[in-house]
Amino acid sequence: MGGHSNWPEWIYIGVVVALMVWVGAEAWEAERLVEHVPEGAETIIVTGQQWFWTFEHEDGTKEIGELHVEVGKAYKLEIVSKDVNHSFNIHDYVVLMDAIPGRVNTVWFAPTDAGEHDIQCREYCGLIHYNMRGKLIVEDPTA
């Protein structure tokens, strides 16, 4: 009665465990890259309010509706809301983070090319939500 071999099951279990370890390691590495803000990143406070965005740089410079940044620098965005839930989105740089009243959410990005990019609220925040837009202007300091 002892003629049954279990080795195919053990191989199957080994392959599944190896795949789970590999997927877990890849997910951990991706999360580490997203969560790790580069040293020297400039902090910009992004405030959402019905129905526009304001930006405050570390040096106190404030902008409304337009965010000016430089190519090659890293920026840490601290995203807050004064009133209702918003969602800050720079589609071209895959930046998407909720702005929740009473909470500071952070995200970072480093623009690579000069140009203009759209900023849009991605959370329905009221009657004029569709017009809650902004402009990211990436400037090349050497040009």
- Tell me, what CATH number does 88's domain have? 2.60.40.420
SS (HEC) of 14-67: HHHHHHHHHHHHHHHHHHHHHHCCCCCCEEEEEEEECCEEEEECCCCCEEECEE
Task: Give residue 139's pLDDT.
Answer: 96
- Asked whether residue 50 falls in the same domain as residue 26, the answer is no
Whether 32 shows a pLDDT value over 80: the answer reads yes
What does the pLDDT look like over 123-138, one tens digit per residue? 999 999 999 999 999 9
Mean pLDDT score of the chain: 94
Please state the rounded mean pLDDT for residues 139-143: 89
Whether 47 shows a pLDDT value over 60: the answer reads yes
Domain that holds residue 18: 1-36
pTM: 0.80
Domain count, the chain: 2
Please state the rounded mean pLDDT for residues 3-23: 94
What are the angstrom distances between the C-alpha of 5 and each of 1, 8, 11, 12, 117?
Answer: 11, 8, 12, 13, 62
Task: Give residue 2's pLDDT.
Answer: 62
Task: Give residue 3's pLDDT.
Answer: 76
- Asked whether residue 9 falls in the same domain as residue 50, the answer is no
- Asked whether residue 29 falls in the same domain as residue 87, the answer is no
Please state the rounded mean pLDDT for residues 65-72: 96
